[in-house]
Amino acid sequence: MNVWAIKLFAALLVVFATSMTGFSVARNYRERPRHLRQLQSALQGLSTEIGYGATPLPDAFAHLAATTRDPISTLFSVSAQVVSRPGATAAEAWAEGLEQLQTKSALFSSDIQILLQLGSVLGLSDKTDQERHLLLTAQQLQREEQKAEDDRQKNERMWKYLGVLSGILLVIVLV
């Protein structure tokens, strides 16, 4: 009796572990399109700050950090912090912000790469040029978002089932 109880407990533990793994992979599939979408609207916000407000970049970053949600706000809060240091360039600040963003978000490194390219031009040209670069980056992110959405539909549910089912399979095999 006691042995069976332990076995049941262990089996539950195994199923729980594999399910969790499956769910977390599924969650990444679900989160990535959402993060990409939020980034697009954040870039649009940045474009407005630059184009209409001519807000200096450190202030614009700070505004966006306050108006976006985690984890996207991390990108802007870190960048705002770094860019305010004397002698810092926007490119350095943006790269540091992206580094932090990557650890906190479901974004692929290819997504981060797209954003990284933007850093080398941020703040270094007139309004129209800045707006163009921001629009371009947002469009690239939109394409990635569509792909990410397809991936999600294909994989999210599968990984959830896979997690649970592989746990059950494992239990059956082991018992």
Q: Is 89 in the site for another protein (CB under 8 A)?
A: yes
Q: Is 125 in the site for another protein (CB under 8 A)?
A: yes
Contact region with another protein (CB under 8 A), list: 49-57, 108-116, 149-157, 167-175: 49-57
Location of structure tokens 């397809």: 150
- Evaluate whether 144 touches 111 at the Cβ level (below 8 Å): yes
Q: What's the one-letter identity of residue 98?
A: L
Residue 59, token pair as written in the block: 């202030």
**What one-character DSSP code corresponds to residue 124?**
S
Give min distance, CB of 29 to another protein, in A: 36
Q: Is 7 in the site for another protein (CB under 8 A)?
A: no
- HEC per residue, 60-128: HHHHHHHHCCCCHHHHHHHHHHHHCCCCCCHHHHHHHHHHHHHHHCCCCHHHHHHHHHHHCCCCCCCHH
Q: Is 1 in the site for another protein (CB under 8 A)?
A: no
SS3 159: helix
Number of residues that bind another protein (CB under 8 A): 23
Contact region with another protein (CB under 8 A), list: 1-9, 29-37, 88-96, 156-164: 88-96
Q: Is 3 in the site for another protein (CB under 8 A)?
A: no
Q: Is 75 in the site for another protein (CB under 8 A)?
A: no
- Evaluate whether 67 touches 93 at the Cβ level (below 8 Å): no
Q: Is 132 in the site for another protein (CB under 8 A)?
A: no
Among 88, 112, 116, 136, binds another protein (CB under 8 A): 88
Location of structure tokens 């399979």: 169
Q: 1 vs 54, which CB is nearer to another protein?
A: 54
Q: Is 21 in the site for another protein (CB under 8 A)?
A: no
Q: In the complex, which residues of this chain contact another protein (CB under 8 A)?
A: 50, 54-58, 83, 86-91, 93, 120, 122-127, 129-130
